[in-house]
Amino acid sequence: MNNFNEILVAEENEKFRTEVATMDKKGTRKWVYAKKSSGKYTNYRAIVSTILLTALIVLPFIKLPNGNPIFKFDVFNTVFILFGYPFFTTDFFLLAIGMIVSVVFIILFTTVYGRLFCGWLCPQTIFLEFVFRKIEFLIEGDRGKQIRLDKQEWDEEKILKRGSKWITYYLLSFFFTNIFMAYLLGSDVLIQFIKEGPAEHIGMFIGINIFSLFFYFVFAWFREQACTLVCPYGRFQGVLIDKKTIQISYDFVRGEKTKGRAKFRKGEDRNAEGKGDCIDCGQCVAVCPTGIDIRNGSQLECVNCTACVDACDDIMTKINLPTGLIKYASEENIAEGSKFKINVRLIAFTSILIIMLVAMTSFMTNRSDVEVKFLQVPGRDFSVEGQYITNTLQYNLMNKTNHKYKLTVDVKTFKEGRAEILSESNQFISIDEGKLKQGLVKIKIPKSKLTSYKVPIDLEIKDEKGRVVDHYVISFMAPF
């Protein structure tokens, strides 16, 4: 009989390997009623979430001295602004570099720090835990009250509470959708749409409401399924983490000891009896937003939100046992009974991450305001004009700023060289903001200065105040 019970317990403990915590074997959704968490880490996450949410709401309405917003992603007009710098389709190489950096960053960051991003910075976690679930706790109460309300008949109380929650959810979804539109269209355009009213922009109004419904669906019903079924990051975790990765971990050595978990009994000496410090209270499971049992080890559903850490620490404090039964630690730390310490791998990987971010930032900030390109005109060769050899070049100048540029072209390599801009009477190339300007420029160099049939020359592009905007090196054709 004892052997049979042990087999049942073993099978129960292994269920997490073959079943998703939020579904039964038939694939039916099991709703997660997460208990309200409180504690040190919850307070820290609340501060981080408040800062990030405030930044999300405020940033699109801030204008920098150059007149640009900090961020803008206008896919309709292909206008993209990052940290005040406008980017265009000609900056595709920066996008490619950014994608490579992002992939490598994710791999290295996850290998060292696990799913730290998911628990502290992911928008899905922040919106769910610190916006929508807070509203749910305020209207329906904590876990026990939510379960009772769900089983309750649709009486006046249930209709009032559920109706209030759903209406509040939709209003929040509509508000945040408008904030996202400010990032897409620009705050000025959004404010203008609001002033003119929905009737003047019926298509935009319908689009905003459709996206609001999608936003509402994700946080009112889909919730943790976005993390467990849709987001690929949990799958990355399974192949990227190892025994040295820092993540939310259950100290199975201390929690189980020789006789495993056991219910708490006042006055007993658990250590002498070989009982683990885990009293099997289930609070770590009750507060988990994805419904898992962290004591089963690392699982793809775990978003490292630290709710189980705070819940366990609270119980340990109440029964006068040391906190830290669930904590940030690697599997190696727990198996060896060692504390977390900064090692060579952590320093190396973190240094690589910082170098990559610095390099990407440098690429973005050092990008020229005007993209310059000069090409030999097909079918045209050099010509001789008195003492000068002349080449006619085609220029392509892309203004990557939000102000007009007036540019001149100088031949830096030869002081005697001259550049005459064709079809521009004042010898200034005028380019509107965000526009491409094409034309012809005639380059003249004294014949006596040329000693080869191809001479590299450095063309210097200056603005109307004489400041150098960019350089371009091209071969000058000569009769030698």
Which pLDDT band holds residue 255 (cuts at 50, 70, 90)?
Answer: very high
The encoded tokens of residue 296 equal 């089963």
Contact 330, 247 (CB under 8 A): yes
Within 13 Å of residue 253, how many CA atoms lie on the same side as its CB? 11
**pLDDT beyond 60 at 6:** no
Which pLDDT band holds residue 15 (cuts at 50, 70, 90)?
Answer: low
The encoded tokens of residue 472 equal 């371009």
**Collapsing DSSP states into helix, strand and coil, what is residue 475?**
strand
pLDDT tens readout for residues 65-92: 877 888 988 887 777 888 887 877 777 7
Give the residue extent of every domain in the chain: 19-239, 244-341, 370-477
Q: Residue 284: enclosing H or E segment and its boundaries?
A: helix 283-286
Residues 118 and 165: their CA atoms lie apart, in Å, by 26
> Higher model confidence: residue 225 or residue 95?
225
Q: Encode burial over 376-405: b for 16+ CB neighbours within 10 A, e otherwise.
A: beeeeebeeeeebbbbbbebebbbbbeeeb
Beta bridge partners of 29: 23
Span 467-477, average pLDDT:
89
Residue with structure tokens 């996202």?
180
Q: What pLDDT shows up at residue 244?
A: 86
Q: Give the CATH fold of the 370-477 domain.
A: Immunoglobulin-like (2.60.40)
Residues 454 and 452: their CA atoms lie apart, in Å, by 5
**pLDDT beyond 80 at 2:** no
pLDDT tens readout for residues 192-221: 999 999 988 899 999 999 999 999 999 999
Q: Please name the amino acid found at residue 375.
A: L
Span 222-226, average pLDDT:
92
> Higher model confidence: residue 239 or residue 8?
239
Q: Residue 366: enclosing H or E segment and its boundaries?
A: none
Rg (CA), the chain: 32
Residue with structure tokens 């961020």?
71
**pLDDT beyond 70 at 8:** no
- Output the average pLDDT for the chain: 87
pLDDT tens readout for residues 161-191: 999 999 999 999 999 999 999 999 989 999 9
Q: What pLDDT shows up at residue 425?
A: 67
For Cα atoms 109, 111, 115, give the angle at the middle one, nearest 5 degrees: 65
Contact 219, 169 (CB under 8 A): yes
Span 264-279, average pLDDT:
88
The encoded tokens of residue 99 equal 């994608």
Residues 117 and 305: their CA atoms lie apart, in Å, by 9
Beta bridge partners of 458: 473
Span 446-458, average pLDDT:
88
Residues 145 and 157: their CA atoms lie apart, in Å, by 12
Residues 465 and 431: their CA atoms lie apart, in Å, by 15
Residues 130 and 45: their CA atoms lie apart, in Å, by 9
Q: Which of 34-38, 44-48, 284-288, 432-436 has the lowest mean pLDDT?
A: 432-436
Q: What pLDDT shows up at residue 281?
A: 93
Please state the pTM of the whole predicted model: 0.82
Which pLDDT band holds residue 310 (cuts at 50, 70, 90)?
Answer: very high
Distance between start and end Cα atoms, the chain: 102
Which pLDDT band holds residue 427 (cuts at 50, 70, 90)?
Answer: confident
Q: What pLDDT shows up at residue 174?
A: 97
Q: What pLDDT shows up at residue 16?
A: 66
Spatial strand order of the sheet with 405-411 comes to 429-431, 405-411, 454-463, 468-477
Please state, for a pLDDT cut of 90, what percent of the chain lies above it: 44
Span 275-301, average pLDDT:
91
Nearest CA among 251, 312, 248, 305 for reference residue 282: 312
> Higher model confidence: residue 7 or residue 286?
286
**pLDDT beyond 50 at 148:** yes
Q: What pLDDT shows up at residue 11?
A: 53
What length does the chain have? 480
- Widest distance between CA atoms in the chain: 112
Which pLDDT band holds residue 17 (cuts at 50, 70, 90)?
Answer: low
**pLDDT beyond 80 at 20:** no
**pLDDT beyond 50 at 1:** no
pLDDT tens readout for residues 319-378: 999 999 999 998 888 988 887 777 787 788 888 888 888 888 887 777 778 888 999 888
Q: Which long-range contacts (CB under 8 A, 24 or more apart) does 375-380 make?
A: 375/474, 376/474, 376/475, 376/477, 377/440
**pLDDT beyond 90 at 53:** yes
Please state, for a pLDDT cut of 70, what percent of the chain lies above it: 95
